[in-house]
């Protein structure tokens, strides 16, 4: 268990009042085991926050908990979205209120056409009026993401390559215009070209109307999407926050110096079993980490 | 254009029950030739002889027939006046017919009377026959006599497929209404031929019997629709009926058959559909079942000829206390025959699905493939599905797979849609629609896909 590392308190934590997204002392369980041990994070529109951390440090858990995944239980703490209690909202309410999660492993749903799904999502977020401009907007976003119109007739993520799935996530994000967008390891599993397209898509969205939380364990993503703030998440806690230079330091020296620094301060970090002490940099396989593993029917 | 000139239903038959006198009287009123009268008599005898299925009868173990009140059912309804054009149809039927796609022919039947017949003049010119079954008995006696009852006989015979045939016998004894289609050799009917059977008299039973004959190398797309009214009060006995469809596909023929059952929720009915395939014939059959408080659905394909292929798709959505009692047969009788079945259902509330599907690979059917899959989604804890896929293999060098599943809706699919802002009811409907889509996709004609999607959407609720 972690004692609060006072010297590593997030640098912009002075006031979370009036913030777009304010997370205070968030604790999250999966299957009655605590994974997130108290996170404080404030994100405003116009800001890009990067969350770095080794595998198993709780990055994705944070993302799913914020997006109301039924398997992730918030046991204590507060989260406000534009001053409203996010945790009291259902997942769909969170979305309609401007929160978006770009999934690391988007779910494939056979039988649901992409175009029809997007139209319904736009209607849910913006009302009937959005349907009128939907076509035009869609065409524009497809062009930016170098996606063909034929995607719209395909089933939702069904048979999509890794890159296509990520592009489809960015497309949804671009259309739904969230105020806070969480990107969970969007860079994983992408080849260089797809990566570039995805990064361009995100950069095209950047601006004063949206705040980003970019979760990654590679610095590569942050070379394209320059963060304003960088947080290091280890053992279910944000152990260090800083500016872009922190991402560079992690890239060059890994997480070991930060861990040593914490140890000198007498802070113990609980490491996840699956991550191990070595922080292997291999990509997790989809099966092992996919929180969407379906226990339902196959071959639908 | 053909029209049937039928006399009015004899007043003395009004209110008559299910008995041999009524059976004879209906035959007389219809002007049946002797062979049909004899046929009805045989059927009545079969109805009386075959024991009423009980929960201990094989194939009926999950069926409760006590909901029927056969002693109260009227055997026939008053005749309904013919109309000369669609505009004269009751509004509900006009709406049902007017679904925005072209037909080669339309037959509308109400309470056993064909009230509207429209046949495309070009179609009629090719020798294709689409008419009321009684009219066909008079005008094309040889053609009808050679085929009527060959697949669903008036009297059950040992060795015949499916169940005891009691309610099929009842249909034969009282049959009144039904569609006759004949497609001559080497003729393709590209626009769908459509039959709409509507029961508006809740006190009278419906007994339509349709006969579809597709001759050698001919091709037909057929849409077969069934609707009925609700009973006047919820306590009244259910609207009752037994419908039979025989589809005979000769060598090299092909039929795309879509049937949509949208009975009222106070209707308890039997729908027996059986198709036979000659050498190298094929059929693509999609059975959509949405209505009925109780539906006994029998769907059989008899792969009689070599090199035949049958695709059997099924889709059902149940709510309230609806019961769907499906029995299917893929009967491989010749070498190199293929059948592929996919039945998908979703049940909510206290709805109950029963599925018994048999692949029978008979001796001499070497080199055949039979596939069978039944997938069921339960949308509530109180919904129920009993799925029993069965295989009987009596020859070598065959490939068969069968499988079934029963489970809840995939909550991870729903969650993904929720995260995009879709309210839960919309998300769940979308997932259910997506679940059915692989079946709808396999309907051969795009217009019919939309027709089925619309029916399903109506049933599970409009999108938000």
Write out pLDDT tens, residues A187-230.
Answer: 887 888 888 888 888 899 999 999 999 998 777 788 888 999 99
Instruction: Kindly state whether A130 is in contact with chain B, defined as any CB-CB distance less than 8 angstroms.
Output: no
pLDDT at A30: 94
Q: Is A71 on the interface with B (CB under 8 A)?
A: no
Q: Chain B residue with minimal CA distance to A293?
A: B412
**A111 inside 8 A of chain B by CB:** yes
Q: Is residue A197 part of a domain?
A: yes
Q: Which of A112, A123, A294 sits opposite B412 (nearest CB)?
A: A294
Q: Tell me, yes or no, if B347 comes closer than 8 A to chain A by beta carbon.
A: no
Contacts of A296 in chain B (CB under 8 A): 407-412
For residue A178, what are the β-bridge partners?
none
Give me the pLDDT at residue A190, please. Answer: 84
Whether B425 has its CB under 8 Å from any CB of chain A: the answer is: no
A186 touches B: beta carbon within 8 Å = no
Of A124, A297, A298, the CB nearest to B423: A124
Phi, psi of B201 (to 5 degrees): -100, 105
pLDDT for A272: 60
Asked if the structure places residue A88 within a domain, the reply is yes
Give the span between the Cα atoms of B402 and B346, in whole angstroms: 19
- In-domain check, residue A19: yes
Q: Assign A49 a pLDDT band (cuts: 50, 70, 90).
A: very high
Sign of torsion over alpha carbons A125, A121, A181, B428: positive
Q: Would residue A149 count as lying in a domain?
A: no
CB contact under 8 A, B422 and A92: yes
CA A207 to chain centre: 18
Whether residue A280 is contained in a domain is answered as: yes
Residue B82 has a pLDDT of 86
Q: Which residues of B touch A124 (CB under 8 A)?
A: 420-423, 426, 464
The residue assigned the tokens 């005891």 is B164
Residue B312: closest CA among B225, B362, B261, B373? B373
Cβ–Cβ gap A300/B415 under 8 Å: no
Nearest to B433 among A95, A111, A121 (CB): A111
pLDDT reported for residue A3 = 42
- Sequence-ordered list of residues with C-beta below 8 angstroms from that of B215, at least 6 positions apart, any chain: B182, B183, B184, B185, B187, B250, B253
Q: Any idea what DSSP says for residue A284?
A: P
Smallest Cβ–Cβ distance between A121 and the set B405, B415, B420 belongs to B420
**Which of A91, A120, A293 faces B426 most closely, judged by CB atoms?**
A120
Domain count, chain A: 1
How many CB pairs below 8 A link A and B?
105
Round to whole Å and give the CA distance between A105 and B6.
Answer: 66
With CA atoms as reference, report the closest residue to A158 among B434, B127, B170, B392: B434
Chain B: closest CA distance from residue A297 (Å): 6
Q: How far apart are the first and last CA of chain B?
A: 43
Identify the pLDDT of residue A15: 59
Backbone φ and ψ of A73, nearest 5°:
-105, 120
Of B410, B419, B424, the CB nearest to A101: B419
Q: What residue has token string 């018994």?
A: B356
Q: What is the pLDDT of residue A127?
A: 93
pLDDT for A171 equals: 95
Q: Determine contact: A159 vs chain B, CB below 8 A.
A: no
Q: Give start and end residues of each alpha helix (H) in B203-282.
A: none
Give the separation between CA B275 and CA B63, rounded to whole angstroms: 25
The CATH number covering residue A216 comes to: 3.40.50.300
Structure tokens at B78: 């008053």
Map tokens 């709805």 to a residue.
Answer: B351
CA B63/CA B43 separation, integer angstroms: 23
Give me the domain span that covers residue A90.
6-105+177-289
For chain B, 464 residues long, give each residue's pLDDT as a single digit of tens: 333 334 445 567 878 899 999 999 999 999 999 999 999 999 999 999 888 888 888 888 888 888 899 999 999 988 788 888 888 888 888 888 887 788 899 999 999 999 999 999 889 899 999 999 999 999 999 999 999 999 999 887 766 544 568 999 999 999 999 999 999 999 999 899 999 999 999 999 999 999 999 999 999 999 999 999 999 898 899 999 999 999 999 999 999 999 999 999 999 999 999 999 999 999 999 999 999 999 999 999 999 999 999 999 999 999 999 999 999 999 999 999 999 999 999 999 999 999 999 999 999 999 999 999 999 999 999 999 999 999 999 999 999 999 999 999 999 999 999 999 999 999 999 999 999 999 999 998 888 898 899 889 888 885 43
CB contact under 8 A, B421 and A109: no
Residue A298 lies in a domain: no
In degrees, rounded to 5, the angle at the alpha carbon of residue B52 between the alpha carbons of residues B51 and B55 is 115
Answer for the pair A71, A35: CB distance below 8 angstroms, yes or no: no
Residue A127 touches partner B, C-beta closer than 8 Å: no
Residue A139 CB coordination number (10 Å): 10
Within 13 A of A88's CA, how many CA atoms are on the CB side?
6
């Amino acid at each position: 268990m972690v004692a609060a590392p006072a010297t590593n308190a997030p640098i912009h934590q002075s006031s979370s009042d009036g913030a777009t997204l304010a997370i205070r002392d968030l604790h999250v369980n999966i299957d009655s085991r605590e994974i997130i041990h108290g996170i404080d994070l404030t994100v405003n529109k116009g800001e890009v926050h990067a969350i770095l951390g080794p595998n198993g440090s709780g990055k994705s858990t944070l993302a799913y908990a914020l997006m109301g995944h039924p398997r992730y239980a918030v046991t204590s703490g507060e989260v406000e979205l534009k001053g409203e209690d996010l945790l009291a909202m259902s997942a769909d309410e969170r979305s309609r209120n401007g929160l978006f999660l770009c999934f690391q492993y988007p779910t494939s749903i056979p039988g649901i056409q992409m175009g029809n799904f997007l139209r319904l999502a736009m209607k849910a977020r913006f009302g009937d009026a959005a349907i009128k401009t939907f076509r035009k907007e869609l065409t524009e976003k497809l062009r930016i993401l170098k996606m063909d119109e034929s995607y719209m007739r395909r089933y939702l993520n069904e048979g999509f390559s890794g890159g296509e799935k990520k592009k489809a996530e960015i497309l949804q994000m671009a259309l739904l215009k969230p105020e806070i967008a969480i990107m969970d390891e969007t860079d994983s599993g992408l080849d260089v070209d797809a990566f570039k397209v995805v990064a361009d898509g995100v950069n095209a969205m950047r601006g004063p109307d949206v705040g980003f939380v970019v979760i990654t364990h590679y610095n590569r993503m942050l070379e394209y999407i320059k963060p304003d703030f960088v947080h290091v998440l280890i053992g279910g806690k944000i152990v260090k926050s800083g500016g872009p230079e922190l991402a560079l330091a992690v890239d060059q020296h890994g997480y070991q110096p930060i861990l040593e620094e914490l140890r000198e301060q007498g802070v113990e970090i609980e490491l996840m079993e699956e991550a191990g002490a070595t922080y292997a940099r291999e990509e997790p396989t989809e099966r092992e980490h996919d929180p969407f593993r379906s226990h339902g029917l196959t071959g639908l | 254009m053909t029209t049937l000139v039928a006399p009015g239903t004899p007043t003395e038959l009004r209110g008559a029950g299910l008995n041999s006198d009524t059976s004879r009287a209906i035959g007389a009123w219809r002007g049946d030739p002797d062979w049909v009268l004899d046929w009805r008599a045989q059927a009545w005898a079969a109805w009386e002889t075959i024991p009423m299925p009980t929960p201990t009868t094989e194939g009926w173990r999950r069926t409760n027939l006590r909901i029927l009140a056969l002693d109260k059912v009227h055997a026939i309804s008053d005749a309904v006046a013919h109309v000369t054009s669609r505009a004269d149809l009751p509004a509900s039927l006009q709406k049902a017919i007017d679904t925005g796609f072209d037909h080669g022919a339309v037959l509308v039947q109400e309470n056993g009377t064909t009230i509207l017949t429209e046949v495309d003049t070009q179609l009629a010119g090719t020798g294709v026959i689409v008419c009321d079954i009684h009219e066909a008995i008079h005008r094309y006696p040889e053609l009808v006599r050679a085929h009527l009852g060959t697949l669903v006989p008036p009297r059950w015979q040992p060795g015949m497929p499916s169940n005891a045939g009691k309610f099929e016998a009842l249909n034969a004894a009282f049959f009144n209404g039904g569609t006759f289609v004949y497609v001559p050799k080497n003729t393709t009917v590209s626009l769908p031929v459509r039959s709409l059977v509507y029961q508006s008299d809740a006190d009278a039973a419906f007994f339509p019997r349709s006969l579809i004959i597709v001759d050698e190398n001919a091709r037909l797309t057929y849409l077969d629709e069934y609707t009925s009214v609700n009973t006047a009060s919820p306590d009244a006995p259910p609207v009752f009926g037994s419908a039979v469809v025989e589809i005979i596909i000769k060598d090299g023929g092909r039929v795309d058959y879509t049937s949509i059952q949208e009975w009222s929720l106070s209707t308890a009915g039997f729908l027996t559909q059986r198709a036979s395939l000659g050498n190298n014939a094929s059929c693509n059959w999609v059975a959509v079942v949405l209505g009925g408080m109780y539906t006994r659905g029998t769907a059989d394909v008899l792969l009689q000829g070599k090199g035949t292929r049958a695709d059997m798709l099924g889709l059902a959505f149940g709510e309230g206390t609806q019961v769907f009692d499906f029995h299917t047969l893929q009967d491989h009788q010749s070498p190199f025959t293929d059948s592929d079945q996919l039945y998908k259902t979703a049940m909510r509330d206290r709805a109950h699905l029963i599925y018994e599907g048999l692949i029978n690979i008979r001796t001499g059917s070497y080199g055949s493939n039979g596939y069978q899959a039944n997938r069921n989604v339960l949308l509530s804890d109180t919904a129920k599905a009993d799925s029993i896929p069965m295989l009987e293999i009596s020859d070598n060098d065959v490939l068969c797979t069968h499988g079934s599943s029963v489970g809840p809706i995939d909550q991870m699919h729903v969650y993904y849609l929720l995260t995009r802002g879709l309210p839960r009811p919309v998300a769940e409907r979308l997932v259910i629609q997506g679940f059915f889509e692989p079946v709808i996709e396999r309907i051969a004609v795009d217009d019919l896909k939309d027709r089925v999607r619309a029916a399903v959407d109506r049933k599970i609720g409009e999108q938000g």
